[in-house]
Amino acid sequence: MTTYSARCAFLRSYQILSILTHYPRLIRAMRGTALLSGTEAAICIRDLKAGRRWSVEAVNAYGGTRKVLADAWKYRRFHVR
């Protein structure tokens, strides 16, 4: 098993609930910028960590995983406390 496939296998099993508990501010910012639900935001983070550009339908409509995370990061720095 190559390093890349081992990494993808690990991230496929990455639990959505653990993402929700580890990144609460980022999840809130993603919900504010892209109007995602908490689960959609967690799936977007998981897919970005797995190296995928596209995720669930709402993320794809916004412009992909990188655009959602970049805009949420900018939003989080200035609006979420």
| Rg from Cα positions in the chain | 13
Contact 51, 8 (CB under 8 A): yes
- Structure confidence at residue 77 (pLDDT): 73
- Structure confidence at residue 17 (pLDDT): 86
Domain borders along the chain are 3-78
Please tell me the number of Cα atoms within 13 Å of 15 on its side-chain side.
4
The length of the chain is: 81
Residues 31-53: tens digit of each pLDDT? 989 999 999 999 999 888 888 89
This prediction has a pTM of 0.77
User: What element of type H or E holds 63?
Assistant: none
Which tokens sit at 48?
Answer: 């970005």
